[in-house]
Amino acid sequence: MSANPLQWSIGLVGYGEVGRILAEDLRARGVAKVLAYDIKFGTADDAPLLAHAAQHSVRPMTSHAFLAKAADLVISAVTADQTVAVAVASAPTLAPGAWFLDFNSASPKAKIESAGLIDAAGGRYVEGAVMTSVPPHRIRVPLLLGGPAAAELAPLLNDLGFAATVASDKLGVASATKMCRSVMIKGFEAMVIESFTAARAYGVEDAVVASLYETFPGIDWEKQATYFFQRVIEHGRRRSEEVREVAQTVREAGLTPWSAQGTAERQAWVADLADAGVFGDRSSKGFARSSDWRIEADRILAAAKAKD
């Protein structure tokens, strides 16, 4: 393996929004060989993913195993529930000494289990915790690293364009930080959608928003609400899966995750509506792109009324 990470073969497991952003930025940084694998490859839904890969000279792989065998650095960026499964699938063919960066929003227990699989296979596992939404920051999104090998990988990742800092040499610390933060952030999204949509149903939304401006003047509630509606409509499925991992993290701390469980249900409920076409065609520019959250709230209320 070259000492220069720009000369590495970097494999992306998961070619969703995050994987594609990383692919674009790694190629722009000068990484010559970027590989990708996604479970949608080889299905009826792979056309836009393969088109993106071709556009950015990313090489699609046919399995986790083939990608792991060819990569100096594997970055796992999948849904939270697939975190351990990716480690299981990748470990048997991972090249000795290859890096495995777990980018997933999973519980400390899942990260520790994944680390055991990778390290036992001769790889070098590092947990990563993405501390805010990726799209605005792209590869420079704040990234906490954890584990015994984190301090060695951090400067190499930063040479690739990441904004990585070491949280701890102990596994689980970085992910616990991320998960506990997500109780608040993802819960805030769910509460705003529930509160504002219910307020719209009763015709009191303007009074509620005005009251929030008075109580929390530092937040642009109209703008924030629109952003929350958009993000959950577009990514509620992934968010709900993440929050189920958040709930597990809380549970592992000995607490009943009442808030996290409710958040996961609300996020999944919005995702179900999106899948049903309530917010329009996912392929169209109109999907979850309203500049006023009220439009999306009205769509939710209309769907609820139709169900009744």
Tell me the DSSP string of 88-131: HHHGGGPPTT-EEEE-S---HHHHHHHHHHHHHTT-EEEEEEE-
- The Cα 252–Cα 215 span in angstroms is 34
How many CB atoms are located within 10 Å of the residue 150 CB? 27
User: What superfamily would CATH give domain 5-170?
Assistant: NAD(P)-binding Rossmann-like Domain (3.40.50.720)
- In terms of CATH architecture, what is 175-307? Orthogonal Bundle (1.10)
What's the CA angle centered on 24, arms 13 and 237, to 5 degrees? 50
- d(CA 81, CA 104) in angstroms, rounded, equals 9
Rounded-to-integer distance, Cα 220 and Cα 227, Å: 11
The verdict on pTM exceeding 0.95 is no
- Cα gap 269→43, rounded to integer Å: 26
The share of the chain scoring above pLDDT 90, in percent, equals 88
- Mean pLDDT value across residues 155-165: 97
Identify the helix (H) or strand (E) that includes residue 223: helix 221-252
Tens of pLDDT along 199-240? 999 999 999 999 999 999 999 999 999 999 999 998 899 899
Cα–Cα distance measured from residue 248 to residue 83, given in angstroms and rounded to the nearest whole number: 14
pLDDT for position 3: 87
Within 10 angstroms of residue 120's Cβ, the number of other Cβ atoms is 10
Instruction: Work out the average pLDDT over 244-268.
Output: 96
- pLDDT, position 283: 60
Residues 6+ apart with CB under 8 A from 98: 1, 68, 71, 72, 73, 74, 123, 124
pLDDT of residue 288: 60
Sign of CA dihedral 123, 124, 129, 135: negative
Q: What 3-state class would DSSP assign to 279? A: coil
In the chain, CATH 1.10.1040.10 covers 175-307
What's 81's DSSP letter?
Answer: G
Contact status, residue 228 vs residue 189, Cβ threshold 8 Å:
yes
- Answer left, alpha or beta for residue 97, where phi above 0 means left and psi between -120 and 50 means alpha: left
Lowest-confidence segment of 29-43, 118-132, 278-292 by average pLDDT: 278-292
Dihedral sign for Cα atoms in the order 230, 234, 240, 245 = negative
CATH 3.40.50.720 domain span(s) along the chain: 5-170
Contact 128, 148 (CB under 8 A): no
Best CA proximity match to 125, nearest among 79, 163, 174: 174
Instruction: Summarize pLDDT for 138-158 with one digit per residue, the tens.
Output: 999 999 999 999 999 999 999
C-alpha 156: how far from chain center: 22
